[in-house]
Amino acid sequence: MQKRTLGKSNLEVSALGLGCMGLSHGYGPATDTQEAISLIRAAVDRGVTFFDTAEVYGPYLNEEVVGEALAPVRDQVVIATKFGFTFGDDNKQQILNSRPEHIRWAVEGSLKRLRTDVIDLLYQHRVDPEVPIEDVAGVVKELIAEGKVKHFGLSEAGVQTIRRAHAVQPVTALQSEYSLWWREPETEVLPTLEELGIGFVPFSPLGKGFLTGAIKEGASFGSDDFRSTVPRFSPEALKANQALVDLLGAIAGEKGVTAAQIALAWLLAQKPWIVPIPGTTKLHRLEENLGAAAVALSEIDLSKIAEALDQVQIQGDRYSAALQSRVGR
């Protein structure tokens, strides 16, 4: 597996990471713990060194699984986790909370669950409008000085927030959604990251599974599957957006690879400091995703994809109104 460096930092990671959320949260029942551990360790065996989790996934369960899985190889991998929420009495309600004292409390919990003395990359999961980002960055700066954190990251933050945070404590990486069916970061975010020397970690690089071609028109999702609330996965949107999957399938067929591999290779080709983190619960999907690192797209290939994308009109918002209000701040 090739390596990449996130921005101007010294944080080197595998070109593709593993998003671990779906093993415990968001897409139906949690994967059996031992199966989840096996999958994470299989990723390590195949050269993945970058693993993404968060206290909110479960809550807490995913960090525990990741911590147990990676304990034997802790010195060989980079673990990213996130703070930024408190939870209601049922542990389901997510309440924004980036107060300095809560950040410290959250980090202590994450360290224990991850079975480590230091968090390699600590993200603010969502911007808290009640807490100045300078205060957030200041606390993380202190945690870095104390040796509990190595690098500071933001997730789904807007460009002004990124600049303000970066002025207090250099931001190593921004994590936000980016894929062939969500290209909004290209407008303002990517130029800002390039200017400041910040790496980019796209989550949902396969469109929450849609870009693999496995989700067909008429698909339905359980109430415990996050996609049941996403307008882009409504029956009407699925039908309309099938044109993008058909396009990817045609390009993939020409190159003898899969649609998912084209989608990931396209992301890797955008900038050398972009590190996608596709998630999966299945070994064969893990191997398919990692195979994308070996797919080379020429300038001609990228031009063809760009021209074809111009012909596809993606339909449906990527979040419900409530969740949309928490991004881009």
Residues annotated as catalytic (active site), given as ranges: 57
In the beta sheet, which residues pair with residue 171?
152
Helices and strands of the chain, counted as H and E runs: 11, 11
Distance, in Å, from the CA atom of 34 to the CA atom of 271, rounded to the nearest integer, reads: 36
Distance, in Å, from the CA atom of 217 to the CA atom of 239, rounded to the nearest integer, reads: 5
Which residue is listed with tokens 């999966």?
Answer: 280
Strand, helix or coil for residue 102: helix
Q: Are 237 and 259 in contact (CB under 8 A)?
A: no
Distance, in Å, from the CA atom of 187 to the CA atom of 63, rounded to the nearest integer, reads: 33
Which residue is listed with tokens 């400041």?
Answer: 196
Give the strands of the sheet with 199-203, arranged side by side.
Answer: 18-19, 50-52, 78-83, 119-124, 149-155, 171-177, 199-203
